[in-house]
Structure 1
C-alpha cells in the first residue's frame, strides 16, 4: 500500500488514506461519499450536495463525481430525481420498499396485493446463541432483539419470519412499534434507530412445514415451504439483521432478476 499524493485530479480528503494505486478516481470519490453516508452527514430522504458542489469539495471534475453517483444510484443507495437533485435512498420509497423481498404472487405483483399485514407473535430481548452471534458479528451471549411475526397478503398468511437484531443498536424496539408502524419495517429502522440496510445476502432451501409452522401459516403439515435465511448489512458491511423466513409457494414464487 502507498499513500496517494494530492493533485488537482485527486480528492484532498483521500490524502493519507491507504488506497490501492489502481483504484479509479471515481471509485475513491464513491468511497468518500459512502463515508459521509455512513457518518450520517446526509440522512435517508435528504438531498446530497450537487455534483458541482461535490466536485469542488473533492477537487475533481464534475464528470468524476457523476460517475461515482451513478454507481451509488445503481446500488439503490442514492436516488436521482429529475429537476430536484440526488437524494439518499430510503426504504420508505415505493421503488425500494420491497427491494429485499423476492416473493412474487403468481398473478400480478406485490403492489397489486397491497401492503403486507403484519402479525407480531413475539418481540423480546434475548441472548445471542452461537449461530445468531456469528451471523450478526456478535459474541455468544450478547443482547439481541428476537422477533417472530407472520406476514399476510390479502388476508392469507404467507410468510413466517424470525428476526434477530443487535440489542444495543435496537434498544427500545417493541412489538407495538413493529405492529403500528404504517410503512416498511426497514423504514422504521431508519427513522427510529438510524440503521439503514444497504445490502443483503440470502441462502435458500426447500423444507417441509412442521405442525407448528403449518398451523401459523394455515397449511397442512408437510406442505412445501421455501426457507430463506437473510443477513442484512448497513454501511461498512456491518451485519444488522439476521432473518429466517418460511415462504408459502402455493400462490407465490421466488423471483430474482440476474444481470
Structure 2
C-alpha cells in the first residue's frame, strides 16, 4: 500500500472504488472474500471489513449475511426506483412509464456546465411521463452525455421493461451511485398542465437531480415535475 495520511481502511475503500470504476467488478458481481481482499491489499481482515462497511453505507456494495459482499445494482428487485421518493398516500404502488421522446441535442451552457461537458457537446435528451393509478404523476426530462450513452434511442428505451438505471448499467456500463437534489415549488406551465392533467398554474413540486457515477463524475441531469395531490415526497434523513 502506498503511504498516505488517510487511515488504512479509507485507502482500501478508495482502491476498491477505483477497481469498480475500472470495471473489475460489475454491478451484481460478488467481491472477493475479506480474506482475499486482505491479502491483496496487505491489510488485516478487520481493516478490509471496515472499508466494506463504509462502502455499504454509501450503497456502493451490498453486504448479504451468509452470502458475501456484492456490487450494488439498480437491477435488484428492491432497488428499481432507488432515487425516486414519491410515495403514495394510499396503497398504490409502482409506476408505469410513457416515453415522450428521445433525441440527440446539443448541450445548453447550463446543461454542459452541470455535467462537466463542453458547451454544445452532444447529449441525449429523454422526456417521459410516470403514471400511477392510471394517471400521470411525474413529468421527467433528463440529459445524458452522448459519449457515455451512444446508441440510446427510442427503440432501446421502449424495449426495456425495467428501471432506467438498470438499463444504463447493463447496456452502457454506467452505474449511478449517488445523487443530489434541489426541490422547489413551481406553477404548472401550459405544457406541463396538459401532460399531467392539471390546471395551468396549479402548484407542482420541481425536483432537479444530478446523478453521479464512481469517482463523483456527474452523468445525468434530470428535472422532474411532480403532481403530489395524492402522493408525497419522502426523504430519509440519517
TM-score grouping bracket, smaller chain normalisation? over 0.9
Shift of 1:179: 2.3
Residue aligning to 2:49: 66
Aligned residue pairs, count? 238
TM-superposition CA deviations, 1:153-178 (whole Å, max 9, x none)? 13110000110000111000011221
TM-score, length of structure 2 as denominator length = 0.97
Q: 1:228 aligned to 2:207?
A: yes
Q: 1:175 aligned to 2:154?
A: yes
TM-superposition CA deviations, 1:54-107 (whole Å, max 9, x none)? 000101000000011011111111011222211101001133322211111112
Q: 1:113 aligned to 2:93?
A: yes
Q: 1:133 aligned to 2:116?
A: no
8 Å CA contact 1:44, 1:89 repeated in 2:
yes
Q: 1:101 aligned to 2:84?
A: yes
Measure, in 2, the Cα distance between the counterparts of 1:171 and 1:30: 31
Q: 1:240 aligned to 2:223?
A: no
Structure 1 segments unaligned to the other structure (5+ residues):
1-11
Which is bigger in relative contact order (C-alpha 8 A, separation at least 6)?
2
Question: Which 4+ stretches in 1 moved above 3 angstroms?
Answer: none
8 Å CA contact 1:118, 1:179 repeated in 2:
no
Taking the TM superposition and a 5 Å limit, the aligned residue runs for 1:204-215 are: 204-215=183-194
8 Å CA contact 1:76, 1:96 repeated in 2:
no
Measure, in 2, the Cα distance between the counterparts of 1:101 and 1:37: 24
Shift of 1:211: 1.3
- SS at 2:235 equivalent: coil
